[in-house]
């Protein structure tokens, strides 16, 4: 049986959707099974499936699951996993090196897994048991069962410290780019000897360009330097914990 998955962040020349041949029939007794193959991209989306589906054996960057039910993810290593508006989901023997996000999900079971960061946003009636979690963030969620988990840090509100640590470093380069471009442009605009007038007039038309450059630099720094460092740190912690448990 074939199912359709979607290429996340596809590039020109790549297919937006892909048909994947699966084993099984989609029933509880004989679920559809998606296993690694050369046809499957490193980032993909599963969308709108209600029948029984199993994803297992993957080592990928990112999977997004949207509006699905009756899905099992097991024996898989991902950098990120996000689930939106899903229910009746089972995640076990799973490793996530960056973050696992449940957004408006219910009846999700997570067990015997190693997760760098678990984010629960407006998620309810989920069962989280016997996992190693470096950081748990639970915002607007309720009735989530937590048992036998090893959790290093728990956060249940959007704190000032969270905003600073999560976003300030991303936008620091934005303002630096604005300042550098504005100041460097002043010598090229001549309005007599009035320095203040030159500064004001130079900054107005160039401010938006400076912001765009700042955003570009911030995204580049975060993607090329900060995020890989955090992921490597998480991998070390998780591998250490796996060694201890074995």
Q: Mean pLDDT, 10 residues at a time, over the chain (246 residues)? A: 84 76 89 89 92 93 95 96 96 95 96 95 95 92 93 75 57 62 57 54 56 66 78 88 80
- What is the rounded distance in angstroms from the CA atom of residue 152 to the CA atom of residue 172? 28
Structure confidence at residue 38 (pLDDT): 83
Structure confidence at residue 53 (pLDDT): 94
Structure confidence at residue 220 (pLDDT): 74
Overall pTM surpassing 0.85 (yes/no)? no
CA distances from 120 to 6, 52, 102, 103 (A): 24, 24, 5, 6
Structure confidence at residue 230 (pLDDT): 83
Structure confidence at residue 243 (pLDDT): 85
- What is the rounded distance in angstroms from the CA atom of residue 207 to the CA atom of residue 146? 49
Residues in CB range of 126: below 8 A, 6 or more apart: 102, 105, 106, 107, 108, 109, 110, 120, 144, 145
Q: Can you give the residue ranges of every domain in the chain?
A: 2-155, 160-245
Cα-based torsion angle of the residue sequence 160, 220, 231, 110 in order, rounded to the nearest 10 degrees: 70
């Amino acid at each position: 049986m074939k199912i359709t998955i979607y290429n996340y962040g596809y590039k020109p020349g790549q297919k937006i959707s892909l048909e994947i041949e699966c084993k099984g029939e989609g029933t509880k007794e004989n679920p559809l099974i998606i296993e690694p193959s050369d046809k499957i991209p490193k980032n993909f989306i599963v969308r709108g499936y209600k029948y029984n589906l199993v994803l297992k054996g993957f080592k990928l960057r990112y999977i997004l699951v949207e509006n699905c039910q009756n899905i099992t993810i097991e024996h898989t290593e991902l950098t990120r996993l996000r689930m939106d508006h899903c229910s009746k989901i089972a995640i076990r023997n799973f490793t996530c090196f960056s973050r696992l996000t449940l957004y408006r999900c219910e009846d999700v079971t997570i067990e015997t897994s190693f997760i760098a960061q678990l984010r629960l946003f407006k998620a309810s009636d989920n069962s989280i048991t016997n996992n190693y979690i470096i950081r748990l963030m639970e915002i607007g969620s309720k009735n989530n069962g937590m048992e036998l988990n090893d959790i290093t840090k728990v956060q249940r509100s959007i704190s000032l410290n969270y905003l600073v640590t999560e976003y300030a470093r991303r936008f620091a380069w934005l303002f630096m780019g604005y300042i550098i471009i504005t100041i460097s442009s002043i010598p090229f605009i001549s309005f007599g000897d009035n320095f203040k007038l030159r500064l004001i007039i130079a900054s107005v038309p160039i401010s938006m360009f400076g912001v765009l450059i700042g955003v570009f630099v911030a995204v580049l720094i975060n993607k090329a330097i900060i995020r890989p460092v955090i992921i490597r740190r998480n991998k070390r912690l998780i591998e250490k914990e796996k060694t201890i448990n074995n």
